[in-house]
Amino acid sequence: MTIHQTIVCERLLDAAPAEVYVAYADAHERARWSAPSPAETVIYEESSFGVGGIDRYRCGAKANPEFRGVVTYLDIVRCERIVYAEQVSRGDTVLCAALITVELTPEGEATRATITTQIVSFVGADMIKSVAAGTRAALENLAQWVLP
């Protein structure tokens, strides 16, 4: 079963685009705010933030981060845009693939972060719901992370 969907999440962040950009660019920082809940974790095993660079990570429940992700950065405009392809799997099963665009738009001294995820799920609609919920939660965490 293949399901396609576009998910758009947006949040005004009380920080300059440069601060938000650094929160994305540094895998150590990203791991600290990107887990959707305190019971979950994101562990970067490899990170090369730059066009053509690849991140490899594990995520899921802290006791069992069973999901694996691979990110390939396609386009980066410092403090403005990050575009990457992502594949998520569990064991030998690919669960989904996505093209993700992060746009950072200045609004006064704040930043409007817009994350557009064009996703294809190979395991049903629950995967898409999970990605949407995880993206919204991570964006809320980021809002707290970049507070002055």
pTM for the whole structure: 0.94
Task: Give, as one character, the DSSP assignment of residue 50.
Answer: S
- What 3-state DSSP class applies to 21? helix
What percent of the chain stands above pLDDT 70? 99
- The answer for residues whose C-beta is within 8 angstroms of residue 26's C-beta and 6 or more apart is 49
Q: Whose CA is closest to 44, among 56, 26, 61?
A: 56
Residues of the chain with pLDDT under 50: none
**What is the β-pairing status of strands 64-77 and 3-13?**
unpaired
β partners of residue 68: 58, 89
φ, ψ of residue 45 in degrees (nearest 5)? -95, -25
Q: How far apart are CA 94 and CA 82, in angstroms?
A: 23
Q: Whose CA is closest to 66, among 34, 85, 30, 92?
A: 92
What percent of the chain stands above pLDDT 90? 96
pLDDT at 94: 98
pLDDT at 4: 97
List helix spans (H) across the chain.
17-25, 27-34, 125-145
Structural domains of the chain ordered from first start:
3-145 (3.30.530.20)
